[in-house]
C-alpha cells in the first residue's frame, strides 16, 4: 500500500515539475507563476490514532486572470500516533509517523495590491506510513488566507483550512481536518 502511495507522490511531484519548472526560464512581461515553501499544523478528527501532523510544503501556483489562481501543494508531514508504533521489546506504543500528500485547487484574490486577502477551494489527500494499516484520506476542502508582498516578487502569507476527508483504504470513515500555516513564495 505504501508503495502505491509513493508512486502517486512521485507522479504528483513530476507533474508539478513538468508544469511549472520550464516556465521559470521563460521571459514574460507578467509574474504569473509562483514557487514557494510553507509550514503549518493539521488536526485530524478521526478514529485512527494519528491526531495531528506538522506539514512542510512545496508550493506552486499559476495566476489565470481576474483574480483567480491555480495552485498545487505537496506536503511532507511529521505526525504523532497515540498507539500502534512498534517499540523496543515488541510492544506497541505512541510515537512519530511520517505522512505525504497533496492539494490541488483554485483561489480567488480579493485584491491584487501589496496586501492580498484570498479564499479558495481544493481537493486534498494525505497518507501516513503507519504500521499494519496506513490510512489514506482524500476529499474536498476550503481555505482562506492573507498574503503580503515584502518585495516586488516575494510574498509571505498565512492561511487556515478545513478539509472533509474520507478514508479510501480499509474501513470507510469521514474525517474532518483543520489547521493553518505560514508560507513564502516568489513570483516570476
105 and 120 in contact (C-beta within 8 Å)? yes
pTM: 0.77
Per-domain boundaries in the chain = 2-21+33-187
Q: Which of 1.10.10.60, 3.40.640.10, 2.40.160.20, 3.30.2320.50 would CATH assign to domain 2-21+33-187?
A: 2.40.160.20
Could you report the per-residue pLDDT of 96-151, keeping only the tens digit for each?
888 899 999 999 999 988 999 999 999 999 888 877 666 788 999 999 999 999 99
Q: What are phi and psi of 181, to 5 degrees?
A: -175, 180
How far apart, in Å, are the Cα atoms of 23 and each of 26, 58, 152, 153? 5, 17, 19, 15
How far apart, in Å, are the Cα atoms of 168 and each of 82, 85, 116, 136? 22, 22, 36, 6
Position 41 pLDDT exceeds 80: yes
Give the lowest-confidence range in 34-48, 61-75, 101-115: 34-48
Q: State the pLDDT at residue 27.
A: 39
Residue carrying C-alpha cell 485512527: 48
| Beta bridge partners of residue 166, listed in sequence order | 138, 174
Amino acid at each position: 500500500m505504501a508503495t502505491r502511495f509513493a508512486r502517486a507522490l512521485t507522479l504528483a511531484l513530476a507533474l508539478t515539475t513538468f508544469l511549472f519548472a520550464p516556465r521559470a526560464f521563460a521571459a514574460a512581461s507578467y509574474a504569473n507563476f509562483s514557487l514557494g515553501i510553507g509550514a503549518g499544523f493539521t488536526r485530524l478528527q478521526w478514529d485512527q490514532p494519528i491526531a495531528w501532523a506538522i506539514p512542510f510544503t512545496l508550493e506552486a501556483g499559476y495566476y489565470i486572470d481576474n483574480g483567480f489562481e491555480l495552485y498545487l501543494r505537496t506536503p511532507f508531514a511529521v505526525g504523532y500516533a497515540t498507539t500502534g508504533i512498534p517499540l523496543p521489546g515488541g510492544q506497541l506504543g505512541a510515537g512519530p509517523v511520517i505522512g505525504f500528500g497533496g492539494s490541488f485547487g483554485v483561489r480567488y484574490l480579493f485584491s491584487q495590491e501589496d496586501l492580498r486577502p484570498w479564499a479558495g477551494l481544493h481537493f486534498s489527500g494525505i497518507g501516513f506510513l503507519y504500521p499494519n494499516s496506513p490510512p489514506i484520506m482524500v476529499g474536498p476542502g476550503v481555505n482562506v488566507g492573507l498574503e503580503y508582498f515584502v518585495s516586488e516578487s516575494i510574498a509571505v502569507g498565512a492561511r487556515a483550512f478545513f478539509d472533509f476527508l474520507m478514508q479510501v483504504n480499509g474501513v470507510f470513515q469521514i474525517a474532518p481536518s483543520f489547521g493553518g500555516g505560514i508560507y513564502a513564495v516568489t513570483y516570476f
